[in-house]
Amino acid sequence: MRQLKILGTSFLLICLVAPSDLLGQSRSLISEMSDLAWAEEVDKARELLESRRVPSEQPSPEWLAAVSWMARGASFAERWDVAEQYAGEAYLGSLTLLEERPLDAERFLPTALGAGIEVLGRTYDAQGDRARAVNFLGTAREEFAGTSIEMRIQKNLLLLSLEGGPFPPVEVEHYLGSPPPTADELRGKVVLFFFWAHWCPDCKRQEPILRELYEEYHDQGLVIVGPTQLYGYISRGTAATPEEELAYLRGEYQERFPIPEWMGVPIGANNFANFGLSTTPTLVLVDRDGIVQRYNPGDLSHEELVALIEPLLG
């Protein structure tokens, strides 16, 4: 990986700015870099970032978070050489900081490291080396298992490796409503897995679309399964034990947002980590042979899902 170059400016600038002012400027820079990334304004973002670069023995988490947005913006625009340069800076800089502090003890460090890993994986794949990308992401997931970025890494790993392979088993520790279908009961069916969370507004907007699909296609062999997990809290963020959260889901929540009787809802602690559920909802479509045909972090419209499901039913 290419060495990361630090552009020099006067050390006097650092001395004249109070630490609290530097933090405020860093947060502002992160916001500016995020906006430019989504707009794919790569050259403008790079000019801004480099104009703010100051010499120091090691970069701050805030600076690395801004750098990681530079990398993401370049990846959105498919400027892979630029993406690799700044993702490498965010990644290596984060590893250096981890020598003296835990990852999740910092507000901005998980952003910097998670995005650095994500963009490097995407870059290796775009360069035509998917094996390297999968190996890099798999190793990173093992290294950062149990941290806040584990699911983000796993999501990116599955985006490259899950489609075209067999659907992994879903863990069932508890369930809501009727018992979820077993693997034997799903054999020969087209199955849409809808990973959701009780606090997720996008999930609630997706459910009516799933209802339409079930009514249109269940006679042709479509089954919809809705795995979820326990989060340790209930309505309005009130902390809850597993028993209290299950009681809430089966009672008050079900009364307000009835779970369809045709959708089995398995609950397992490891499902969201294993399936890279840093985004809810996530939809996974599996064909009659149990092979994953689509892994989609985020929601899908009725039209998009119909276009994916109908060929599998035929």
pLDDT for 21 equals 45
pLDDT for 35 equals 97
pLDDT for 97 equals 95
Distance between CA 128 and CA 122 in Å, rounded? Answer: 10
Token look-up 């060929």 returns 311
**pTM, full prediction:** 0.78
pLDDT for 270 equals 85
What are the C-alpha distances in Å from 67 to residues 23, 59, 109? 15, 10, 11
C-beta of residue 149 within 8 angstroms of C-beta of residue 98: no
Residues of the chain with CATH 3.40.30.10: 174-313
Q: Which residues of 187-208 are buried (b: 16+ CB within 10 A; e: fewer)?
A: eebbbbbbbbbbebeebeebbe
One of 1.20.1290.10, 3.30.350.10, 3.30.43.10, 3.40.30.10 is the CATH number of 174-313, namely 3.40.30.10
The stretch 163-171 carries a mean pLDDT of: 92
pLDDT for 286 equals 97
* CATH architecture under which domain 12-161 falls: Alpha Horseshoe (1.25)
Q: Which of 280, 268, 274 is nearest to 196 (CA)?
A: 280
Q: Which of 307, 224, 306 is nearest to 259 (CA)?
A: 224
Residue 230 has pLDDT above 70, yes or no: yes
pLDDT for 273 equals 83
Two structure tokens written together for 109: 């460090």
> 163 falls in which pLDDT band (50, 70, 90)?
very high
Distance between CA 183 and CA 111 in Å, rounded? Answer: 37
> 198 falls in which pLDDT band (50, 70, 90)?
very high
> 15 falls in which pLDDT band (50, 70, 90)?
very low
Q: Over the stretch 27-66, which tens digit does the pLDDT of each residue have?
A: 599 999 999 999 999 999 999 999 999 877 689 999 999 9
Q: Given the DSSP bridges, would you call strands 265-267 and 282-286 parallel, antiparallel or unpaired?
A: unpaired
Q: How far is CA 80 from the centre of its chain?
A: 21
Instruction: Name which of 4-13, 109-118, 135-144 the model is least confident about.
Output: 4-13
Residue 19 has pLDDT above 80, yes or no: no
Residues of the chain with CATH 1.25.40.10: 12-161
pLDDT for 12 equals 31
Residue 24 has pLDDT above 60, yes or no: no
Residue 2 has pLDDT above 50, yes or no: no
> 5 falls in which pLDDT band (50, 70, 90)?
very low
Distance between CA 117 and CA 71 in Å, rounded? Answer: 10
> 11 falls in which pLDDT band (50, 70, 90)?
very low
